[in-house]
Structure 1
């Protein structure tokens, strides 16, 4: 039998295009974009009676578990030094390398997620703000460093007012919600007059409780930033300077 395309793809993917011993990259673009491949799909147990680590009566020698991806140098080395590179040693090296590839990729993904900036839209109307805070089960707030007591009291009062609006939003009629939207619009204007912008979003999060149960909760994220904050990204839309 021969190595199937599926097995070949699995071998190269799980090995990360690297030699299982020296970690050398196996497939590259060479000079003038010519394909340069030093990778070899090597058998741990040879199917030939005079081959390295040969065992008889194996149904298929070309299965994934009997293959290890190596560079040409190490392929030659394991087939010549069979007392050093036993079946058990090669199987351990194969598993260890594939686990290394998996963990390295996962770590890189996790690092990218942590370093990736989170983009939250600026709230520009009371109606939009009411939608974010309405019927929320919880609130997550953030703000710039506070410079003085007056600023602390002001920012604290804004957050408390937003939470209060959110808590009662489910208990009022449509007319009252329109009035709330107007009042929140005035709140936003007051924030801007004092040099702040409000950013927010609503999301669904799974919360776990002490008794082991869990439930999906609506969580409103509210962030107050000074207008000159370096964390604010300005986007030019339709050749305007809107945020």
Structure 2
């Protein structure tokens, strides 16, 4: 069994086209004809009996949790120095690297946000919301001042749910996406009943210099505002 296209896409997106150890770009070049790929999808636990860190009877050796994106040099290094690069160390490196990618994107978004004002359309359907968040590389989120801990937990949970749906969207089938759209619609309706509107947009060409000066990334902006917020403009189209 090989690594699925969905798993491979998810791994590269979460890793930001960077080696988890040295952070070097893995696909370089100014255009498709000059692209050079030095990245390799590495197994934390090998499926081979005599392979690095092998464990028998693992249900799926090619799942996302068992894969780490590295350059060729560091792939060779972790597989030769198995005492240094244990399973626990590699799993920590995977999580740490993907957090670094997300933080770098978030910081770049905040820098860009500070430079120019944004006018966002209100999102009123689950399908529309799913289209905004689907497989985004980064998320720009904002919300009004919170009154108490209960409101903080509620709004925080909603935002995290939106991000989780966006992250897994590329790994599910069409049937599941329809169900996700329905679930998101229920959340939008619930938010409106509780006095909130959701605004957002999808930018498929965001340039994030914290990761690369030339790469373009999909960034989803999601803003939750209270209905009475004076920043909201009602336009009769």
- Per the normalisation by structure 2, the TM-score is 0.51
In the other structure, the counterpart of 1:231 is none
- Contact 1:44–1:87, Cα closer than 8 Å, also in 2: yes
Residues paired across the two proteins, number: 136
In the other structure, the counterpart of 1:16 is 16
1:192-222 Cα offsets, whole Å, 9 max, x none, are xxxxxxxxxxxxx967669x7965226279x
- By relative contact order (CA 8 Å, sep 6+), the higher-ranking structure is 2
Change (3 A) 1:65 1:106: same
In the other structure, the counterpart of 1:61 is 61
Distance 1:32 1:65 in 2: 30
In the other structure, the counterpart of 2:81 is 81
Q: Which has more radius of gyration?
A: 1
Distance 1:220 1:60 in 2: 50
Change (3 A) 1:209 1:63: closer
CA RMSD of aligned residues (A): 2.9
In the other structure, the counterpart of 2:199 is none
> Does the alignment pair 1:111 with 2:111?
yes
Change (3 A) 1:47 1:114: same
State the 1:117 CA deviation: 4.8
In the other structure, the counterpart of 1:4 is 4
Structure 1 unmatched runs, 5+: 120-204, 222-243
Query: What SS is found at the alignment partner of 2:61?
Result: coil
1:124-149 Cα offsets, whole Å, 9 max, x none, are xxxxxxxxxxxxxxxxxxxxxxxxxx
1:5-54 Cα offsets, whole Å, 9 max, x none, are 00000000000000000000000116994220000000000000110000
In the other structure, the counterpart of 1:139 is none
- Contact 1:43–1:62, Cα closer than 8 Å, also in 2: yes
Distance 1:93 1:43 in 2: 13
Query: What SS is found at the alignment partner of 2:228?
Result: strand
Query: What SS is found at the alignment partner of 2:110?
Result: helix
Distance 1:219 1:32 in 2: 47
Distance 1:65 1:29 in 2: 29
Query: What SS is found at the alignment partner of 1:89?
Result: helix
Distance 1:117 1:206 in 2: 16
> Does the alignment pair 1:36 with 2:13?
no
